[in-house]
Amino acid sequence: MKTQNEILDQGYKALVNSLGVVDAIRFIQHFSPGYGDYTQERHEWLDQLSMNDFLVEMRKHKEIDNKSNFEEIIE
């Protein structure tokens, strides 16, 4: 099994080989780390939801994810 660092290294090399250095960097920059304290915010909204409401929301997002706008990239 590969280590996480080996996978990252192989992934970066694949991106650079496929896209070139500049476009690989542009692709990576598309996925920003965000901001805020995810753990704290998660507890704040999860504490307000019932398990049923949470499951309903998950199902909604699953339906949206199935209609992803990234399909053209994968094809």
- 34-66: per-residue pLDDT in tens? 778 888 888 888 788 888 988 888 888 777 666
State both tokens at 26: 């542009």
pLDDT tens column, 24-36: 999 988 887 777 8
How many whole angstroms separate alpha carbon 48 and alpha carbon 15?
41
Q: How confident is the model at residue 75 (pLDDT cuts 50, 70, 90)?
A: very low
Name the residue with tokens 């704040």.
44
Are the beta carbons of 27 and 15 closer than 8 angstroms?
A: yes
How far CA 70 is from CA of 2, 28, 39, 65, 73, in Å, comes to 27, 15, 27, 10, 5
